Amino acid sequence: MSGARLVLIDSGGIQEETTILGVRCLTLRDNTERPVTIAEGTNLLAGTRRDTIWPAFERAMTVACERRHSKLWDGHAAPRITAALEQAFAG
């Protein structure tokens, strides 16, 4: 995936991976659970129909894509989750 120019997908997690790798992603769905990838500009929602996918594909092939790291993707999710669980079950 890191060597791809464009990744076409219909799943969620890969949208985040392509964002971190700086690879343009075209999501063949009408919505996403990963809106941060849209906000970062690395992912385009293409819908599920030919008349929406083709224009999205053409746009994706002409727009440059750079590596992005959302401020929440800092590699410290596990400690935050642990702290939240400890706080929730402490009392």
C-alpha 32 chain-centroid distance: 9
C-alpha 51 chain-centroid distance: 23
Q: Are 16 and 68 in contact (CB under 8 A)?
A: no
Rounded CA separation 58/68 (Å) = 22
pTM: 0.73
Instruction: Give residue-wise pLDDT tens across range 27-75.
Output: 999 999 999 889 888 899 999 999 999 999 999 999 877 777 667 677 7
Provide the pLDDT for residue 91: 65
Name the CATH topology of 6-89: Rossmann fold (3.40.50)
Q: Provide the strand spans (E) within the chain.
A: 6-9, 24-27, 43-45
- What's the residue count for the chain? 91
Q: What three-state secondary structure class fits 7?
A: strand
